[in-house]
């Protein structure tokens, strides 16, 4: 419902009715709407933290790791699309329950140490995010929205290669 209506436009009552449970039963599991949001986003945030750790362990950004990041964001495309366009979902909401949002760490890990690398890191993340959150159009049908559309294999390969080129790293 957060994806369909937006975070601010979805009430606990709406959610409980959709689930066929009372608000009290829902509040038993989630004491606030923000807590429910965090539970929904936690697997994505965990995957982003894992990516950061994998790059640190490898000692460098590698094409296979960037491809994994593209896969992770693409697998969560409707959620990423919704969160990135919902002004009611701030980073502070995503950082709840002890799991910090790793967005700044993502840029840092891709950026390296020099100023030029920092720009490359931001551009690479922008390219990946824009590819995943871009208008969810059905292939071949310019005006038909498909909110659950995911990247094709060819598109994933292209996005990975483009991000590696922006980072001035060897292509896959």
Compute CA 125 distance to the chain's CA centroid, rounded to the nearest angstrom. 11
Mean pLDDT of 153-172: 91
Whose CA is closest to 47, among 91, 105, 8?
105
Domain extent listing, the chain: 42-166
Mean pLDDT of 139-158: 76
pLDDT at 5: 83
Q: Quote the CA–CA distance of 69 and 163 in Å, as a whole number.
A: 11
Mean pLDDT of 105-127: 80
> Which whole-number Å values give the CA distances from 155 to 75, 84, 152, 159, in the listed order?
13, 21, 5, 6
Place of tokens 């606030």: 32
pLDDT over 80 (residue 90):
no
Helix (H) or strand (E) holding 80: helix 77-85
CB contact at 8 A, 120 and 169: no
pLDDT over 70 (residue 95):
no
Partners of residue 145 on adjacent β-strands? 137
Name the average pLDDT for the chain.
83
pLDDT over 90 (residue 153):
yes
Residue pLDDT, tens place only, 2-50: 888 888 889 999 999 999 999 999 999 998 888 888 888 889 888 999 9
């Amino acid at each position: 419902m957060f994806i369909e209506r937006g975070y601010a436009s979805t009430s606990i009552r709406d959610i409980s009715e959709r689930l066929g449970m009372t608000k009290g039963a829902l509040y038993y599991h989630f004491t606030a709407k923000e807590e429910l949001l965090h539970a929904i986003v936690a697997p994505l945030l965990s995957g982003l933290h894992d990516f950061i750790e994998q790059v640190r362990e490898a000692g460098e950004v590698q094409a296979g790791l960037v491809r994994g990041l593209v896969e992770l964001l693409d697998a969560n495309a409707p959620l990423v699309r919704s969160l990135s366009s919902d002004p009611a979902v701030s980073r502070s909401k995503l950082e709840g329950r002890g799991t910090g949002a790793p967005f700044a760490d993502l840029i840092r890990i891709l950026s390296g140490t020099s100023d030029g690398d920092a720009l490359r890191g931001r551009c690479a993340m922008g390219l990946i995010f824009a590819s995943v959150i871009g208008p969810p159009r059905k292939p071949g049908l310019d005006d038909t929205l498909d909110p659950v559309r995911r990247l094709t294999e060819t598109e994933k390969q292209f996005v990975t290669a483009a991000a590696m080129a922006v980072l001035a790293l060897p292509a896959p």
